[in-house]
Copies of this chain bind each other. A is one copy, B any other.
Amino acid sequence: MRFLMLEGNQLILALIAFVTGIVSLVAAGLFLASVLKEDMGTPRMVELSNAIFEGAMAFLNRQYKSLAPIVIIIFIALFFIPKDLFAHGGDTSKISIFALPVSYLVGAVASAIAGYAGMLSTTKSNARTTHAARTSLNKALSVAFRGGAVMGLSVAGLGLAGVAGLYIVFGNPVVINSFAFGASAVALFARIGGGIYTKAADVGADLVGKVEAGIPEDDPRNPAVIADNVGDNVGDTAGMGADLFESFAATTIAAMLIGAAIFSPELQFAGIIFPLLIGAAGNIASIVSTAVVRLGDEGGDPQAALNKGLWATNFLTAVAGWFIAQYLFGDMALGIFIGILAGLITNVAIGQITEYYTSYHKKPSQEIADASLTGPATNIIKGLAVGLRSTAAPIVVICAAIFVSYEAAEAYAAKGLGIYGIAMAAMGMLATSGMVVAIDSFGPVADNAGGIAEMAELGPEVRKNTDKLDAVGNTTAAVAKGFAIGSAALTALALFTAYKMSANLDTIDLLQPTVIIGLFIGATIPFVVASQAMDAVGRAAFEMIAEVRRQFREIPGIMEGTGKPDYAACVDISTKAAIKEMIAPGLVAILTPIVVGFVFGPEALGATLAGATAAGVLVAIFMSNAGGAWDNAKKYIETGIHGGKGTEAHKAAVVGDTVGDPFKDTAGPAMNPLIKVMGTISLIIAPLVAKWSFFA
């Protein structure tokens, strides 16, 4: 690999990407300012919103404080990786000793900043959305979406500016791959910790409040109600944001690495810069497309408005991608562009599939509702069967994207460029993450807005508007989960390819016993981490249940509304549990590649990545879709099917929904950062493992 000194035209192109990232951040800032200008409503609404805001910030502060020592230790350790290992025979004098550690730190800090920005914005938007819903649905949609867009554009902007900036400073994609590892490490803990937080609070609030005490959801007398609302933000906003920030960063860097390695010298820079420019195109497309997210009139469908935004982003990215490919690759553009297109189509297809398996307008979820008639056992069996079955279609789509993007690049670009084509499919998918995260973060804002309407005892017409937004939020959340899984799969493949290059492997031969062992170990990790995540929710929810019961028992007048529940105690339990419980699965994820690599060698480690990716994606789809289908089967019954609320069928469906909670919001989503962090850490240690390992 040649080392690049950016100058002239090259510097300008890299700067365009960097500046686009900054523009996204400015746009995010403007959206935030516009949200903050909205009225928060009654003093009670202000109070509630502030409680949620403080809870969310308290969690983030604790989480990042706990992660700081780990981040610093890794930061220091990275100084000791001999830089000649990364030179691949090039001139080591041009590699800065700071490149690896500094890139890592920037990645970790950028992920944390994105988390703060998103949390700030969604928790500041919730009461404002409620207030807007007092006058108009359109207004409420606008506030909630702008709140989400702050998160989306922060994620996309920080990712793009971060990678482009480091590339400009250090001039070589190899030495900045630790940016992705920094993002990964934070994402892993944010996802797992956030997932545990939100479900511990949710299950605790529901089981004691709704089931035992018989008070409605979001009732202010429930001590866990604030923790529950904080959890929506912590899980869906911070967790999902960190997840996609990581995917964006890892894919961009992996694609740049692959581009640097496989193009001929005259096209090498084009191969490196193209992923950044596609990212830039997606950023701009996301910003522009926010303009079309609005209701035509008061009776409009918020879902359609959001869909318009997504379609516009996909379309604009595709168009821009075509022109950029033409500019950089000339004759070869078509072969590269088909990869981008495959990624964008994968977006849409996985969204549709996810909706099919989880929406209660479709057969799978309705079948679960039917199975509830014979009790909780048949509900669970059916839900598991639906989840297991739902893995097939997304895998076929992902395989098709791999195949088409590879073959197109081989056929229409040049022989040997196939793997770059696959990386482009991943890039195409992730370029739109600004809009995807915006739409996803809309969900918790709408959810919170409804909660505040309930807690502030506003009228039913307000609740009707927020309910409408909340229902849309549930669908967008499910679709975003599908997007996150699909993009994680392609990101993991891009990392896998980059790993191969970094470890200098010609083949990873499945016929070698250590490779088979690596594959088996890799495939086992998702099962183990999923188990840890589910157990963690169980333990944390147990503590929460005990605390809520204690408050109901000991605080006088709490049920009459005269005694004030101790919300902070519940927030504290969720926070502590999340921080404590995220450590063990985090260590499994980080240590497995290190142990396998240094014991069994680089080929075995490669197989571990492949096994973990395959099993991780399958477990993620299984759990997310089963969880979503159970949730909606319950909601379907609540519309009056099979007798509606209060029937035995509904009780059975509630059991399924409760099992689905840690499936879809904790264990399932933990798979994405799991497979990616295994990839990014392997990428870092690849040159070391290739040199020293015990048995290989």
| A interface with B by C-beta (< 8 Å) | 207, 371, 374-378, 380-382, 384-389, 391-392, 395, 398-399, 402-403, 406, 418-419, 422, 493, 497, 500, 505, 507-511, 513-517, 519-521, 523-524, 527-528, 530-532, 534-535, 537-538, 542, 545, 606-607, 610-611, 614-615, 617-618, 622, 654-655, 658-659, 662
Of the candidates B532, B534, B535, B606, the one whose C-beta lies within 8 Å of that of A510 is B606
User: A614 with B545: in contact, given A513-B422, A538-B385 (CB under 8 Å)?
Assistant: no
CA distance A607 to B614 in the complex (A): 12
> Is B520 touching A398 in the complex (CB atoms < 8 A)?
yes
When the two chains form their complex, are residues B511 and A392 in contact, meaning their CB atoms are under 8 A apart? Answer: no
- Measured between beta carbons, the chain B residues less than 8 angstroms from A376 are 376-377, 655
| Other-chain contact of A528, B391, B399, B617 (Cβ < 8 Å) | B391
Copies in the complex: 2
CA distance A554 to B505 in the complex (A): 72
Q: Is the CB of A516 within 8 A of B493?
A: yes
Contacting pair B618 A527 (CB below 8 A):
yes
Q: Which of B388, B418, B511 contacts A508 (CB 8 A)?
A: B511
Known: A508-B510, A527-B622, A615-B523. A610 touches B516 (CB 8 A): yes
- Please give, as numbers and ranges, the residues of chain B lying within 8 Å of A500 by CB-CB distance: 511
A510 CB → nearest B CB, Å: 4
19 A–B contacts, CB within 8 A, in A order: A378-B658, A380-B659, A388-B527, A388-B530, A389-B531, A391-B528, A395-B520, A395-B521, A399-B517, A399-B521, A402-B517, A403-B517, A505-B511, A507-B507, A507-B511, A508-B510, A508-B511, A510-B515, A527-B618
User: Which of B398, B422, B659 interacts with A381 by CB under 8 Å?
Assistant: B659
The interface residues of chain B lying within 8 Å CB-to-CB of A662 are 381
Give the residues in chain B near A535, CB-CB below 8 Å.
Answer: 382, 385, 389
A406 to B515, CA, bound (A): 13
- B residues within 8 A CB of A406? 513
With A406-B513, A507-B509, A538-B378 known to touch, is A519 a contact of B655 (CB < 8 Å)?
no
Which B residues are in CB contact (< 8 Å) with A659? 377, 380-381, 384
Distance A587 CA – B507 CA, assembled complex (angstroms): 33
Known interface pairs A384-B534, A516-B493; A392-B524 also in contact (CB < 8 Å): yes
| Chain B residues within 8 Å of A532, by CB | 389
15 additional A-B residue pairs with CB within 8 Å, beyond A374-B542, A381-B662, A403-B517: A376-B376, A382-B535, A384-B534, A388-B527, A388-B534, A391-B528, A395-B521, A398-B520, A422-B513, A507-B507, A507-B509, A508-B511, A510-B610, A523-B523, A524-B618
**Measured CA separation A517–B406 after assembly (Å):** 11
Tell me, in angstroms, the Cα distance from A528 to B384 when the chains sit together: 11
Determine whether the beta carbon of A375 is less than 8 Å from that of B655: yes
6 closest cross-chain pairs (CB), A and B: A377-B658, A388-B531, A389-B531, A508-B510, A507-B509, A523-B614
The answer to whether A402 and B516 touch (CB under 8 A), given A534-B381, A618-B527, is yes
Complex-state Cα separation, A610 to B527, whole angstroms: 17
Q: Return chain B residues, CB-CB under 8 Å to A614.
A: 519-520, 523, 611, 614-615
A596 CB, nearest partner CB in chain B, Å: 10
Q: How far is B500's CA from A515's CA once the two chains are assembled, in angstroms?
A: 15
Q: Which of A505, A524, A658 is packed against the most chain B CB atoms within 10 Å?
A: A524
User: What is the CB-to-nearest-CB distance from A518 to chain B, in angstroms, rounded to a whole number?
Assistant: 9
